[in-house]
Structure 1
Amino acid sequence: MATTLVRPRTVVPLASRTHKAPALRHLGPNWYASVMGTAIIANAGATLPYQVPGQRVACQIVWVLSAVALAVLLAARAGHWLHHRDQARAHLLDPAVAPFYGCLSMALLAVGGGTLIVGKDLIGTGAAVAVDAVLFTAGTATGLVMAVVVPYLMVVRHRVVASQATPVWLLPLVAPMVSAAVGPLLVPHLPAGQPREALLLACYAMFGVSLLATLLMLPLIFGRLILSGPLPLALTPALFLVLGPLGQSTTAVNQLADVAPGAVDASYAHALGAFAVVYGVPVMGFALLWLALAAAMLVRAARGGMGFAMTWWALTFPVGTCVTGAAGLARHTGLDAFAWLAAALFLGLVTAWLAAAAHTLRGLFSGRLLPRTA
């Protein structure tokens, strides 16, 4: 009788396996923050109360850059999930990384909104509406899913304690607010009647979802700062993330008030216009208070030797939402003070973007940000 020898299968330890596209292994969802921070430059710059020659063209260029960055990053993240599925799953189960999955939604929404704000100058209004409709739908769906999935994972899978609370926890909760802020751009392009009213009220519903969820989370974040002291140096820029729901909600109520007259009865439209000011002014006041606190903590961290990290992108998009919020208040109140505030914040936004972008490019070319190791 012939004897068949079966060669035992050699099991290669996971740590020693070689991966395809090794540079993509460490490409986390936090990279979408760079797309958000770039897109908000175009969106905020195009809506500033004060415009200078060439500003619109510059915003168009930045929007194109953000759209290209989004396309490249979507492809790269697809490669990450394809070739490094174990790492992608590990990110979802990591309480420090999972909240960044909210950035995908906001990147889609920011670029989509920019398509209707400045991109229409390049591709035409019809194409811009179509592109924004796709990105808005995808971004909103993703944002609502992550607003449930990430908190669910934090409750049932992540093991966190109060001292680990950081503003990063706000990211999946802010995404629906971004939908509420950019959704009004599509309202005038819908048929009059129920389609417009439905989208308008859906945006207000998402405004409520994000606002109330943020109000639940903020006490944990501030309590952690008071009881446990400053954040680690590299994480200090994340304090600016608190500005996101503040500035974005102010932007949302003003954007919604702009399109309300064509979507709901005049009495409701008038009330929503008043609500934009009654809500927006106090929230903007608190945003400026938090901005001062976060800036002071940032200076402290810089003096302590804070180096570059991808958290620097937290200095861009949240500040940009305050720019658009202040610009909206300038439209509805007519106060020059809000117009000047928007301009001053925009200068700070551009400065932060230049710093974050320069260090990111340097880190990419040097291989420090995306090392080719497992």
Structure 2
Amino acid sequence: MGYDRGAALPGLGARLGLRMRETIRQFTPNWFTVTMGTGVLALALNQFPFAFTGQHEIGRALWMLDICLFVLFSLLYAARWIIFFDGARRIFGHSVVSMFFGAIPMGLATIINGFLAFGIPMWGEGVVPVALGLWWLDVAMAVACGVLIPYMMFTRQEHSIGKMTAVWLLPVVAAEVAAVSGAQLLPHLAGEEAFRTLVLSYVLWAFSVPLAMSILVILVLRLALHKLPSRDMAASGWLALGPIGTGALGLVLLGSNSGPVFAAAGLPEVGTVALGIGIVGGIMLWGYGVWWLLLAVLKTARYVREGMPFNIGWWGFTFPLGVYSLATLALGRATHLDAFAAIGAGLIVCLAAFWVTVAVRTLHGAWLGYLFVSPCLLTTSSDTRVEADFV
């Protein structure tokens, strides 16, 4: 009797179908941190202060990969809401998973910035309206995350200081990331549209940064009283660099790009003040970030000695370090200090090493399927370990 190849195919197809269905059922917004890390590396490599062969091309390839990943993840998450609505809506009551809604607009912001860095050289200024339209969508999502997620924390979720981590920052920081994108759009806009974008970007910065700094104060208290989080949360120690780096970057870019816009609005002296505030404020925030950076390095070294299990939360090593690197380079351009360029280059090298390490392990975990876990579907206390592995 010969081997019936046709009989094996339905079984294989059924298994693949079941695996895809389970992947969709377990898909959560934390996967958008992959797009955040990939996008910020693309932007950072494109600004690397010491030119190397293929610099722009590598950055552009990563940006295109970022777009593909964002589209794929959006389709998977939309499919979850359509097919598994009852399970998907449980996220609103979960104290950890809901925080990752902020990763969606932040991932989109890296694509918007990439249109300006890579899209314009390829397709010309015609991509600016596309970037601007996506920016308005990003602003809407960032504001919604910044208000609704904290509201759910206050009304329907269970939280405590002892269980607090820097993950609390994720929904809050999205607005200041949108402010940075707005600042980069300014040189490509004119008239009332430019002035409106500038003012809104400052509002978005203020909407996010003071609240994020408040959360960091509470986080210091939590660390002093309850010590370090579990090893599963090791990468969360780097998240503090996110609002600090983005806050500094936003001030510098808004100050640097606002002069012509304020002048066109009849406020040339305000543009001069904005530039000064951007440089001085950016330097001060950058110095604050040095403390958190050194603390993150010390904590990570301790976790490595104890054994640090891999999980999707390792992407927390990438985006915060990336925006802090970009802020460092922006300060170098604004102050003309070579030290900032050298430090920024070193940080980007570390960022690239982190990205390669985490990307390889993520591909492996995604292929085997164990990284697709939705803790909000868990109902028993025995599932605590699985929830820790999620972040």
TM-score, with length taken from structure 2: 0.87
* C-alpha distance in 2 between matches for 1:212 and 1:159: 24
Contact 1:42–1:118 (Cα < 8 Å) also in 2: no
Structure 2 match to 1:166: 165
Amino acid in structure 1 at the alignment position of 2:251 = V
Q: What does residue range 1-374 of structure 1 map to in structure 2 within 5 Å?
A: 21-127=21-127, 129-192=128-191, 194-265=192-263, 266-370=268-372
Please state whether the residue corresponding to 2:246 is helix, strand or coil. Answer: helix
Contact 1:99–1:169 (Cα < 8 Å) also in 2: yes
Q: Which runs of 4+ in 1 moved over 6 A?
A: none
Residue range with higher mean Cα deviation, 273-282 or 149-158: 273-282
* C-alpha distance in 1 between matches for 2:208 and 2:26: 29
Deviation for aligned residue 1:20: 7.9
Contact 2:180–2:254 (Cα < 8 Å) also in 1: yes
Uncovered stretches (5+) of structure 2, i.e. residues with no partner: 1-17, 378-391
Contact 1:246–1:284 (Cα < 8 Å) also in 2: yes
Deviation for aligned residue 1:244: 0.3
Bigger proportion of residues as helix: 2
Amino acid in structure 2 at the alignment position of 1:72 = L
Amino acid in structure 2 at the alignment position of 1:346 = I
TM-score, with length taken from structure 1: 0.91
* C-alpha distance in 2 between matches for 1:241 and 1:340: 23
- 1:293-315 Cα offsets, whole Å, 9 max, x none, are 11111111111111111111000
Amino acid in structure 1 at the alignment position of 2:211 = A
Deviation for aligned residue 1:123: 3.4
Structure 1 match to 2:11: none
Contact 1:19–1:83 (Cα < 8 Å) also in 2: no
Deviation for aligned residue 1:165: 1.1
* C-alpha distance in 2 between matches for 1:185 and 1:196: 11
- 1:239-273 Cα offsets, whole Å, 9 max, x none, are 11100000001111111122112200331111111
Uncovered stretches (5+) of structure 1, i.e. residues with no partner: 1-17
* Residues 336 and 86 of structure 1: CA distance in aligned 2, closer, same or farther (over 3 Å): same
Contact 2:37–2:318 (Cα < 8 Å) also in 1: yes
- 1:87-118 Cα offsets, whole Å, 9 max, x none, are 22111210111111011110111111111112
Contact 1:21–1:83 (Cα < 8 Å) also in 2: no
* C-alpha distance in 2 between matches for 1:234 and 1:58: 32
- 1:171-202 Cα offsets, whole Å, 9 max, x none, are 0110000011111222223232x321121111
Contact 1:63–1:119 (Cα < 8 Å) also in 2: no
Deviation for aligned residue 1:21: 1.5
**Paired residues, number:** 355
Please state whether the residue corresponding to 1:362 is helix, strand or coil. Answer: helix
Residue range with higher mean Cα deviation, 49-58 or 336-345: 49-58
Identity %: 29
Contact 1:109–1:140 (Cα < 8 Å) also in 2: no
